[in-house]
Amino acid sequence: MAIKIGDTLPVDIKLKEMAEGGPKDVTVGEIFKGKKVVLFAVPGAFTPTCSMKHLPGFLEQANAIRAKGVDEIVCLAVNDAFVMGAWGKASNAQGKVRMLADGNAEFTKALGLALDASGFGMGTRSQRYAIVAQDGKVKELFVEPGPGLTVSSAESVLAKL
């Protein structure tokens, strides 16, 4: 069953983030505890819609989103930490959007938002969505109904903050 508004995020799941010395673990609880966070998920780093529209929209709107009381903006993909770190660097995301890897899709599956992209040779990926959470509790949820970027764009999320 997919996560819904009012649900609490699974706090014990570990994600990966690139750090100075290499990938480091970070729990979902650490990311969301005591903060208002916008997390948006993409099917894959460096893929067309993700790289040309989804991430750039959040980079462009980062200041406006933070001005609405958001403490952190997180981009999540079922990729490894090396790929997410490289994508963040290539996109100049540092200081604007935190790039996190859900390499084994544990978080994605726990939310019920996995996507079978094996037909494209991509295996299990994440659906495209965005969540606004306060202290780990889902306040807003924007899951794309199909291909493309409409409801989970930075502009759509900003309009609901």
pLDDT at 119: 73
pLDDT at 77: 97
pTM of the model: 0.94
75 noted as active-site residue: no
pLDDT at 71: 98
The full set of domain ranges for the chain reads: 14-160
Confidence grade of residue 14 (pLDDT, cut at 50, 70, 90): very high
Cβ burial, residue 76 (10 Å; 0-12/13-18/19+)? buried
At residue 115, does pLDDT exceed 90? no
Tens of pLDDT along 35-84? 999 999 999 899 878 878 999 999 999 999 999 999 999 999 999 999 99
φ, ψ (nearest 5 deg) of residue 55: -60, -45
pLDDT at 146: 87
Q: Which CATH architecture has domain 14-160?
A: 3-Layer(aba) Sandwich (3.40)
Question: Taken in order 16, 17, 23, 24, is the CA torsion positive or negative?
Answer: negative
Tens of pLDDT along 116-156? 777 776 768 899 999 999 999 999 999 999 888 999 999 99
Catalytic residue among 15, 28, 50, 73: 50
The whole-number average pLDDT for the span 85-100 is 97
